[in-house]
Amino acid sequence: MDGSNAEVRTRSGFPSTWKISALWLVPVLFLSVFFFLPLAEITNRSGILTQGVILDHVTWGLLTKSLSFTITQATVSTALTLCIGIPGAYLLSHFRFMGRELLKAMLIVPFILPTVVVATCFNALLGPRGLINDWLMTIYNLQTPPIALLNTFWAIILGHVFYNTSIIILVMSEAWSKLNPNYQDSARILGANRLQTAFKVTLPLLAPSLLSSGLLVFIFDFTSFGVVLLLGGPLYATLEVEIYIQAIHMLNFPAATLLSLIQISMTLVMSVIYARISRGQTLELTPHFKAGRSLADAPVLQKCLGLGILTLLFLIFFSPLIALVIRSLTSYHNFASEGGSFGSGITLAYYAELLVNRRDDLFYVPPYSAIINSILFALITVAIALPLGILVVRALKMPQRINRILEPMLMLPLGTSAVTLGLGLVLTFNSTSFYQASFPLLLPIAHALVGLPLVIRVIQPVNESIPQNLIDSAYSLGADWWRVFRDVELPLLKKSVSVAAIFAFSVSLGEFGATTFLNRPEFPTIPIAIFRFLNQPGQINYGQAMAMSTILMILSILSILLIQITSYQGREGK
Amino acid sequence: MNRLNCVVFVFGLLLASGCSSLHTPTPQIRELRIMTHDSFAISESIIHMFEEENGIKVVFMKSGDTGTLLNRAILTSASPEADLLYGIDNTYLSRALSADLFEPYHSEILSSVPVEFILDQNKFVTPIDYGDVCINYDRLYFSKHNLAVPHDLAELIQEEYRGLLVVENPATSSPGLAFLLTTIQRFGEDGYLDFWNSLKTNGVVVVNDWSTAYYTNFSGSSGRGLQPMVVSYNTSPAAEVYFAETPIDDPPTASITAPSTCFRQIEFAGILKGTPNRSLAALFIDHMLGIPFQEDIPLQMFVFPVLPNATLPPVFQNTISLVGQPAMLSPELIAEMRDGWIQAWMEVMRK
């Protein structure tokens, strides 16, 4: 950024230091009260400060082993996620085809599903008696299932790709579709071939989004818990899994806190590196959106390639989801007497059973109230994370030293385990009336802490790329900052804001870990209901867990479509 | 812009409604707050009965699994969140007692509870229910393959049971820990690691949680997995009948309940130190030991009431094989050795 920027800000009426302080005030306050204070509290109570932690060979072994595994799997996962995400983003940003919006909405579904459900999806598809093994065994007349994927390293990687590819695709396709095509065209006219254009022109232009989304994915993989625990099995433990084992099952607070602090510091280091690399890189965009070509009219080679990518996306994302729907509708009536052959018919019994409180259960969760609670928490999460995110993104656009310190801090909640965050919030607030009130407001606040970094990462690259001359002209025409924001910046940000809202919404909808600490039984969410069903034996419980998961899936597709429809309207017309 | 304003308005409204519920004056009804784990379940009528008798409201706070619950209670012991804690079991008991969480309470009903359940002689905690962690097997598989059901853990390392058992990781699952403790009681501290080594050679499958073991790997459940034996509870066959999709009389599964093959988990309730509602909490413990509550336990949580004269539901009487000689280790020994045992187990299994 150059000096003219600061000058412009002063022209808007305030000295830039004042303005940046004003922009940072609320986000910093929010983070201090709901993140750093709880973190300090739990560190203090763990006794690590007074007693220290004994770094014997066991603790040291835990640390080095889990740290090296965490880094290895996160690197492999991120690389594979990029390999699938980038072609997917290209396809979605360059071509029009039937069902593109639906595909975009569906892509984010994995992001929302709680890991118990995802593990069940994968099992229904790839497990020892999953659909694929069943078919292979029938076709080739095999005695044992040929695919043994569950409880392996690659099951973890597959789980991560399934979860995080949507981040790459949504962030990158958003940036790609706004790329000014004149640059590539000029390069081609000046004699560069396709490859040179891609690497020397397109790639540098897309770098901020690529780094942004890639880093987010890396951090998600780095702090992965459920996927590693449920798909990887007992041979693999990331830092996050080890924190859970040490804190909850070994009751070793000092070790758990030490691991927690190490994980948080690593996240900080990654965020600082990210901020350094991405500084000065902006994405050039034009306010005009590319309509995209129709895939049906594309040349044969492109069509084949496009269809290939679509097939891959389908296999990775939709086949597990379809397996889930099939499970929720398949009756296993008399299955034992038939010797375990595949289900014997379609049934709606599990859905119907959801509506019945058969046992007069005090904690019975009617599906509609779980849905309403989940949506309520998700909307409050968006209402908290979005304004905070916009404040931060605006502050980050100003060339101030303070940004370099504050920006990486905002990423830290992503690197904090749900156990640490949830317990910390409880410890800090449990004697306040805020906590004792009947509505668990701390719950969406915790969700917003995790959603905020996503919101920022999604909006920031687009905000950075708003041509400064547009804003300058608006100011010189006499508009005040609010009008500039409302009439110039916001319309350009609109789509990225809606993507950000979708992410914040999704984080909340599927969150389970912190929810168990902060929620009250009167406000059960869908993931909590699913968890309860999966914790008791019996066909009906299993079937209800599948049915509830399917409802969560459909609900998330619907809400995403709704957000997309409301925010894209008006754009198509212009 | 109208649409945006509208969205902002709706968000604002939601936020305001969330905030306003913070300030609604709580009605002046006394509350009894009970902290428990996620698996706790009870009939609505049983709680309403207590609420009406005492003119109070019972508020439950659920907090993850037993380990998480205990952690939370220990960390908040300076300003307890609840009046009563229910759900600590004998594998965590000693740790809870040494953290000095409870106030002693000697319920008069305890005299009708068998002494084997009263593990804390100082009466800081009161036993409420118990469950036996046993190996469950797929009856159809065993009859189809003409395979004898093992009656001793030592048989599990024989060739005919190769790859047939799935167990849970003791570092992440409470039935997994219970099964590890069974093997320690059965083979002794000197022998249990050898047993696990042989079990590993014989293809035992280890997963991290009960749901995966039961619903993914076990062939007797609706998950139709590959292993016909799983570590679960001896009440699971009753749940399979009770929660069958279409009514069945015979469970598809059964449990092995021979001596020293099952571990007994006893769950306790205790009054949290510093509560202003001590007498009310004591009344609730008596309520939990009352016949209606005790008889409600089986079909809600699929464990057994500690009171011998509580009648079990028919499905329990018809399908469950009772455990005569469960494995038990003293809570003090478990508290002292637990980390070391798990660590040693981990080293054997990860080798």
Phi and psi torsions of A298, nearest 5°: -70, 160
Q: Are residues B67 and B193 in the same domain?
A: no
pTM of the model: 0.85
Q: Which residues of B touch A137 (CB under 8 A)?
A: none
Most confident of the ranges A527-531, A558-562, B113-117: B113-117
At B23 the pLDDT is 47
- Nearest-Cα distance to chain B for A465, in Å, is 22
A438/B26 Cβ within 8 A: yes
Q: Which of A153, A248, A528 to mutate to test the interface with B (most CBs of B within 10 A)?
A: A248
Task: Please indicate whether residue A5 or residue A540 has the higher confidence score (pLDDT).
Answer: A540
CA distance linking residue A95 with residue B93, whole number of Å: 62
pLDDT mean over B94-101? 92
Pick the closest to residue B333 from B160, B158, B184 (CA basis). Answer: B184
Lowest-confidence pick of A64-73, A130-139, A368-377, B240-249: A130-139
pLDDT above 90: residue B126 = yes
At A166 the pLDDT is 86
Residues paired with B227 in a beta bridge: B218
Work out the percent of chain A whose per-residue pLDDT is above 70.
Answer: 91
Q: Are residues B98 and B165 in the same domain?
A: no
Q: Is B43 on the interface with A (CB under 8 A)?
A: yes
Q: Which residues of B touch A340 (CB under 8 A)?
A: 140, 219, 224
Decide if B19 is inside a domain. no
Decide if B2 is inside a domain. no
CA distance linking residue B40 with residue B147, whole number of Å: 37
Task: Please indicate whether residue A454 or residue A34 has the higher confidence score (pLDDT).
Answer: A34
- Nearest-Cα distance to chain A for B151, in Å, is 23
Phi and psi torsions of B219, nearest 5°: -80, -15
Radius of gyration of chain B (CA): 23
At B260 the pLDDT is 93
Domain ranges of chain A: 3-568
Lowest-confidence pick of A237-246, A292-301, A521-530, B281-290: A292-301
pLDDT above 50: residue B20 = no
Q: Are residues B258 and B179 in the same domain?
A: yes
B3/A566 Cβ within 8 A: yes
At A334 the pLDDT is 44
CB neighbours of A308 closer than 8 A, spacing ≥ 6? none
Q: Which of A251, A386, A565 to mutate to test the interface with B (most CBs of B within 10 A)?
A: A251
Q: Are residues B188 and B108 in the same domain?
A: no
B177/A520 Cβ within 8 A: no
Cα nearest neighbour of A151 on chain B: B207
CA distance linking residue A71 with residue A48, whole number of Å: 25
Decide if B6 is inside a domain. no
| SS3 label, residue A51 | helix
pLDDT mean over A412-434? 84
Radius of gyration of chain A (CA): 25
Confidence of residue B21 (pLDDT cuts 50, 70, 90): very low
- Nearest-Cα distance to chain A for B303, in Å, is 11
Decide if B178 is inside a domain. yes
A516/B38 Cβ within 8 A: yes
ipTM of the complex: 0.83
A543/B222 Cβ within 8 A: yes
For residue B49, the enclosing domain spans: 28-130+265-312
Residues paired with B263 in a beta bridge: B133, B327
Contact A228, B206 (CB under 8 A): no
A244/B172 Cβ within 8 A: yes
Decide if B343 is inside a domain. yes
Task: Please indicate whether residue B198 or residue A315 has the higher confidence score (pLDDT).
Answer: B198
Q: Which residues of B touch A145 (CB under 8 A)?
A: 226
Task: Please indicate whether residue A364 or residue A443 has the higher confidence score (pLDDT).
Answer: A443
pLDDT mean over B329-340? 91
Which residues of chain B from 286 to 315 reach within 8 Å of chain A, CB to CB?
Answer: 299-300, 302
pLDDT mean over B70-83? 88
At A15 the pLDDT is 64
Which residues of chain B from 99 to 138 reach within 8 Å of chain A, CB to CB?
Answer: none
- Region class of A191: left (phi > 0), else alpha (psi between -120 and 50), else beta: left
Structure tokens at A454: 């996503």
At A146 the pLDDT is 83
Lowest-confidence pick of A230-234, A280-284, B260-264: A280-284
Which residues of chain A from 401 to 440 reach within 8 Å of chain B, CB to CB?
Answer: 419, 423, 426-427, 430-431, 433-434, 437-439
Decide if B144 is inside a domain. yes
DSSP A102-152: HHHHHHTHHHHS-HHHHHHHHHHHHSTTSHHHHHHHHHHT-SS-S---TTS
Work out the percent of chain B whose per-residue pLDDT is above 70.
Answer: 92
Confidence of residue A278 (pLDDT cuts 50, 70, 90): low
Query: Rounded mean pLDDT of chain B?
Result: 89
Q: Which residues of B touch A424 (CB under 8 A)?
A: none
The 10s digit of each residue's pLDDT in B178-208 is 999 999 999 999 999 999 999 999 999 999 9
pLDDT mean over B73-94? 91
The 10s digit of each residue's pLDDT in B26-35 is 456 889 999 9
DSSP state of B208: S
CB neighbours of B259 closer than 8 A, spacing ≥ 6? B324, B325
A127/B243 Cβ within 8 A: no
B240/A537 Cβ within 8 A: yes
pLDDT above 60: residue B2 = no
A vs B: CB pairs below 8 A: 222
At A43 the pLDDT is 87
CB neighbours of A375 closer than 8 A, spacing ≥ 6? A509, A555, A559
Q: Is B45 on the interface with A (CB under 8 A)?
A: yes
At B82 the pLDDT is 92
Q: Which residues of A touch B43 (CB under 8 A)?
A: 359-362
Contact B4, B29 (CB under 8 A): no
Q: Are residues B177 and B304 in the same domain?
A: no
At A257 the pLDDT is 87
Q: Is B5 on the interface with A (CB under 8 A)?
A: no
Cα nearest neighbour of A251 on chain B: B71
CATH of domain A3-568: 1.10.3720.10
Q: What is the CATH number of the domain that holds B201?
A: 3.40.190.10
- Region class of B313: left (phi > 0), else alpha (psi between -120 and 50), else beta: beta
Instruction: Report the residue from B11, B205, B245 with minimal CB separation from A331.
Output: B245
**How many CB atoms are located within 10 Å of the residue A386 CB?**
24
pLDDT above 50: residue A287 = no
Q: Are residues B56 and B85 in the same domain?
A: yes
DSSP A351-415: HHHHT--TT-BTT---HHHHHHHHHHHHHHHHHHHHHHHHHHHHHHTS--HHHHHHHHHHHGGGG
At A6 the pLDDT is 42
The 10s digit of each residue's pLDDT in A325-350 is 888 888 765 444 444 444 457 788 88
Q: Are residues B101 and B32 in the same domain?
A: yes
Q: Are residues B99 and B161 in the same domain?
A: no
Phi and psi torsions of A507, nearest 5°: -55, -45
**Structural domains in chain B (count):** 2
Q: Is A468 on the interface with B (CB under 8 A)?
A: no
Structure tokens at B132: 């036996």
Which residues of chain A from 480 to 499 reach within 8 Å of chain B, CB to CB?
Answer: 486, 490
CB neighbours of A220 closer than 8 A, spacing ≥ 6? A160, A163, A164, A167, A414
A538/B243 Cβ within 8 A: yes
pLDDT mean over A428-441? 80
Decide if B21 is inside a domain. no
pLDDT above 80: residue B121 = yes
Strands B84-89 and B263-272: antiparallel
Task: Please indicate whether residue B307 or residue A224 has the higher confidence score (pLDDT).
Answer: B307
At A568 the pLDDT is 60
pLDDT mean over A360-385? 90
Work out the percent of chain A whose per-residue pLDDT is above 90.
Answer: 16
Query: Rounded mean pLDDT of chain A?
Result: 81
DSSP A237-251: --HHHHHHIIIIIS-
